[in-house]
Amino acid sequence: MARRTFRVQAAEPLLDIGSYARRGPGRRDRLSQAQVAQISRTVKRVPEVMVKVLSRASNDFGSVGRHLGYIGRHGGLPLETDDGEQLQGKHIARELMEDWDLDLSEHRRQADLASANGRQAPKLVHKLMLSMPPGTPAQGLLAAARNFLREEFALKHRYAFALHTDEPHPHVHVVVKAVSEDGVRLHIRKATLRDWRREFARHLREQGIAANATERAVRGQTEGHKLDGIYRAMKDPNRDSTHMERRVGMVATELLKGDFRVEAGKSKLVETRREIARGWQAISEILIREGQQKLADDVRRFAEVMPPPLTEKERIAAELTARARDARPKERPVGR
């Protein structure tokens, strides 16, 4: 049977800050109640949700089984499925994969590979992680994840998930079958993730958990993952860290030679920041006209303290410089 392609229809950002900075016919001059609520959450720095796609090894039958075993802690944790069952045990992963007919999908995949002319094999599943910062109630997070997954995938794509609390930030691992029961393949785009973050945040708030979902640029953030992840990856040989090792090594060499060069994308980063700053200013003016002086003041202060826009190389250089400075021996006061 031919496989159709299913693309999640994701909405535009609820709070497109840049649009408020633009002059002309398309400029916005009103704010909805939902937008005001999100502005308030953003400037108060309400915790941001994370919806992450784990991309490695999602197109191989054996790797899917290993991942299901991992999220179920090899039988130690229950896996909850799309039909509400709680499954636990060392053999659950294989039973689940057979129930999802992933063994048949694997046979089709092998047949497709024979005529794929070097193209990458299609994914059998999508591996997701839903996460919140430390201190978030784990059971509330689990309930929100359950409701979110039911709304997004029930009666379409088979899925299973498990709550992990072994790290400071509670998180839910999810495995979603890539092809629906009707033979429709799910493709995840950036807009899809944006929409999922917004919906997951809504479900968290319904559980009484403060949660927000805004773009990084809107919050004045340009970094991807925390820099500490670079150094953890470099110290742990089991982590896939070769790319970041090369990046850190290159920046360190340039610093030592006094020949540090910023990436070409710096100018675009700076221009984006200018647009975001103008957008926040325009929103502050709209709020004043609508009689919301306090929130307008909060917006102005929020925009004033946004961190400077830095490229990845600049962030690495700043971190290396700070670490080198901290590693220097402290000078003893004279006379001691």
Q: What stretch of H or E contains 81?
A: strand 79-81
Question: Looking at the structure, do residues 202 and 249 belong to the same domain, yes or no?
Answer: no
In a domain, 67, yes or no: yes
53-104 pLDDT, tens per residue?
987 666 788 889 999 999 998 889 999 999 999 999 988 999 999 999 987 6
Question: Looking at the structure, do residues 62 and 181 belong to the same domain, yes or no?
Answer: yes
The DSSP-derived string for 117-185 is TTPPPPPSEEEEEEE--TT--HHHHHHHHHHHHHHHHTTTS-EEEEEE-SSSS-EEEEEEESB-TTSEE
**CATH number of the domain enclosing 70:** 3.30.930.30
What does the buried/exposed string (b/e) look like for 108-132 if buried means 16 or more CB atoms within 10 Å of the residue's CB?
A: ebeeeeeeeeeeeebbbbbbbbbbb
Question: Looking at the structure, do residues 87 and 183 belong to the same domain, yes or no?
Answer: yes
- With beta carbons less than 8 A apart as the criterion, state whether 96 and 79 touch: yes
Question: Looking at the structure, do residues 64 and 175 belong to the same domain, yes or no?
Answer: yes
Other beta carbons within 10 angstroms of residue 322's beta carbon come to: 11
Question: Looking at the structure, do residues 125 and 243 belong to the same domain, yes or no?
Answer: no
Number of domains composing the chain = 2
Beta bridge partner(s), residue 86 = 80
Q: Determine the pLDDT at residue 35.
A: 93
Question: Looking at the structure, do residues 160 and 27 belong to the same domain, yes or no?
Answer: no
Average pLDDT by consecutive 10-residue portion of the chain (336 residues)?
A: 43 73 65 94 96 79 91 92 93 91 66 55 91 96 98 95 95 96 91 95 98 92 55 48 76 86 85 91 95 97 92 86 80 60
Rounded alpha-carbon distances, angstroms, from residue 238 to 20, 110, 152? 46, 29, 34
Other beta carbons within 10 angstroms of residue 216's beta carbon come to: 11
In a domain, 186, yes or no: yes
Domain boundary among 144, 171, 206: 206
Rg (C-alpha) for the chain, rounded Å, is 24
Question: Looking at the structure, do residues 55 and 25 belong to the same domain, yes or no?
Answer: no
In a domain, 242, yes or no: yes
Domain boundary among 206, 223, 244: 206
In a domain, 331, yes or no: no
Report how far residue 211's alpha carbon sits from residue 48's, in angstroms, rounded to the nearest whole number.
6
Other beta carbons within 10 angstroms of residue 279's beta carbon come to: 22
